[in-house]
Amino acid sequence: MPSSHDSQSVTTVHNHDRNLALLFVATGAIFGIYGSGLGSLMLASLSGFRLPLQEIGFASHPYAQIYGFIFEFIMGVAYILVPRFKGERLTDILSSLKRRRFYFCFLLLLHPSRSESVLQASILEFRGRSCPERCLFRGISASLCTHPCLCAIRIYLYPKHLGVWRCSKPVMDRYCRGSILHAFSLKDLFTGLSTESS
């Protein structure tokens, strides 16, 4: 017989799914109303009515209808129906990413030289490109730099998180030191790039 605690947790899960679905459907409805309103204004202007506003915002009409209304509405309905069909909870992507982040960092740690060569090639490639592309590239490079450092901090502060990798701690120590030095060398490369671009 299920306990009261179990039934309470099931109700909480169902309420969470319902709230998520309602949020999707409500925002979808708002975008739908906005898109339909814009569409009716567009039709009115095509029919020859003179509108007291500029027609510049009409470009967002198809985006609001397709990516605003249809996507949000269908995603909301799917979020509430699919878990109920299966009687299972949705996977929490954020927590599973947090659990796997350590292994991702470890992989990055194992290949500092490779990532550096990729970055150097990208720096040469991105010279003279437009500002948004450089910003995007810098963001990716900065994340590539910080991950090994975060991993190193984590290995030193929380060695119990290593789990099955605990036996390889001496090797990882060496990689950690190397990765921190590597991050510093990359910092010099970025500084060079930013001064060159300015």
Choose the binding region for other proteins from 131-139, 157-165, 166-174, 180-188 (rule: CB under 8 A).
131-139
77 binds other proteins (CB under 8 A): yes
Q: Which two tokens stand for residue 147?
A: 């991950």
Q: Which is nearer to other proteins, 2 or 87 (CB)?
A: 87
SS3 50: coil
Show contacts of 13-18: CB within 8 Å, 24+ apart: 13/89, 17/79, 17/80, 17/83, 17/84, 17/90, 18/80
10 binds other proteins (CB under 8 A): no
**Considering only residues 1, 46, 56, 164, which one is a binding residue for other proteins as defined by CB under 8 A?**
56
Tell the smallest beta-carbon distance from residue 166 to other proteins (Å): 30
Show contacts of 95-103: CB within 8 Å, 24+ apart: 102/151, 102/154, 102/161
125 binds other proteins (CB under 8 A): no
Cα–Cα distance for residue pair 186/178, rounded to 1 Å: 12
Residues in the site for other proteins, rule: CB under 8 A? 20, 23-24, 27, 31, 34, 56-64, 66-68, 70-72, 74-75, 77-79, 82-83, 85-88, 90-91, 93-94, 129, 131-133, 135-136
